Amino acid sequence: MNQFLKIHPEVQQALQDKKPVVALESTIISHGMPYPKNVETALAVEDVVRQNGAIPATIAIMNGKCHVGLSKEQVEFFGKEKEVWKVSLRDMPYVISKQLYGATTVAATMRISAMAGIKIFVTGGIGGVHRGAETSMDISADLTEMAQTSVAVVSAGVKSILDIGLTLEYLETKGIPVVTYQQDEFPSFYSRKSGFNSPLRLNTPAEIAALLHTKWSLGLNGNVLIANPVPPEYEVPTEKMEEHIRQALAAASKQNIKGKEVTPFILQYIAEHTKGESLEANIALIKHNAKVGAEIATAYTSVKL
């Protein structure tokens, strides 16, 4: 096994027994939500995965290793500790060789999942092409990683802090199937709508599992993005979010926020300025993604070869 990988015994056992396993990221814990809601949510999401028949594997970096499956205490640590790096692919060798604490983004979590042999990964929202990317060139490494690593990601679509149209174009260019679960429109995280048709739609975990199996059996490496709309009762209307997003982007530009700081800055700004409503939606949609992700992982393990 890779010398930099440390797989929790429960996760290792499940992988060996070919039982369903769902990977979870840690940037959302350390940089995506405020304490203590971040820790409560991370632990609740693990429970939802379990209740739906799969083993959760939250991924983070510490003591020079990529940890696949964390204890409650470790999740608590990543939720509280301030000196945690936000680790995308670029940062992995530095943070691992310096033995620093690293919370993994979608890109880094996908790569570590692949090293461990996990095929399904659940998150809230992925990174993408930012608004104004034609001049800033700010395109998340999540997208380039999705083009090459064969791990499926369940998200609630793409947050409209990004340019959703350009993100969908980029995904098309890179050959990444985008499947919306049970509706025709691609969702935009807080909202079930985005104004963009989803390239593909599937209605059951079994159909999604069959698509994954077919793609990878064809030798088509890379990700499938599964967009799972936020439950209607938690939806925040797009018009309402748009105002906050505009303000967040203006504040980021005024404070000259650049590079890896952009996404955490905007997420935090929105959480503070929507007085918890967006945070409640965020929590609800991640739990819902965990349920659907566990169902897909379960269906995937029973695909007939």
The minimum distance between CB 110 and ligand PSU, in angstroms, equals 9
Taking CB under 5 A as the binding criterion, the range among 67-75, 135-143, 218-226, 230-238 that sits at the site for Mn ion is 135-143
Tokens for 222?
A: 């890379």
Q: Give backbone dihedrals phi and psi of 182, rounded to 5 degrees, phi first.
A: 65, 15
State phi, psi for 162 to the nearest 5 degrees: -95, 170
Chosen residue from 111, 260, 287, 291 binding ligand PSU by CB under 6 A: 260
58 vs 8: CA distance, rounded Å:
10
Q: Give the binding range for ligand PSU (CB under 6 A) out of 50-58, 139-147, 164-172, 246-254.
A: 139-147
In angstroms, give the least distance from the CB of 163 to ligand PSU.
12
- Residue 102 engages ligand PSU in binding (rule: CB under 6 A): no
For the segment 54-83, give every residue that binds ligand PSU (CB under 6 A).
Answer: none
Least distance (Å) between residue 250 CB and Mn ion: 18
The whole-angstrom separation of Cα 183 and Cα 61 is 36
Instruction: Name the minimum Å distance from CB 261 to Mn ion.
Output: 9
**Strand duo 120-122 + 152-155: pairing:** parallel
Alpha helix positions (H), the chain: 9-16, 27-30, 37-51, 72-80, 92-97, 106-116, 133-136, 141-148, 164-173, 205-217, 238-254, 262-273, 277-301
- The residues in 277-296 that bind ligand PSU, with binding defined as CB under 6 A, are none
Which tokens hold the place of 241? Answer: 């979010």
**Which residue of 141, 210, 251, 284 would you call a contact of ligand PSU, by CB under 6 A?**
141
Q: Which does 69 bind (CB under 5 to 8 A by kind): ligand PSU, Mn ion, none?
A: none
Could you say which of 86, 159, 287, 291 is catalytic? 159
Among 25, 76, 138, 235, binds Mn ion (CB under 5 A): 138
CB 52 within 8 A of CB 298: yes
- Provide the token pair at 30: 């350390």
CB contact at 8 A, 30 and 38: yes
Active site residue 159: yes
Residue 106 interacts, among ligand PSU, Mn ion, none and using kind-specific CB cut-offs from 5 to 8 Å, with ligand PSU
Please indicate whether residue 172 is annotated as part of the active site: no
Residue 124 within binding range of ligand PSU, rule CB under 6 A = yes
Residues carrying an active site annotation: 25, 159
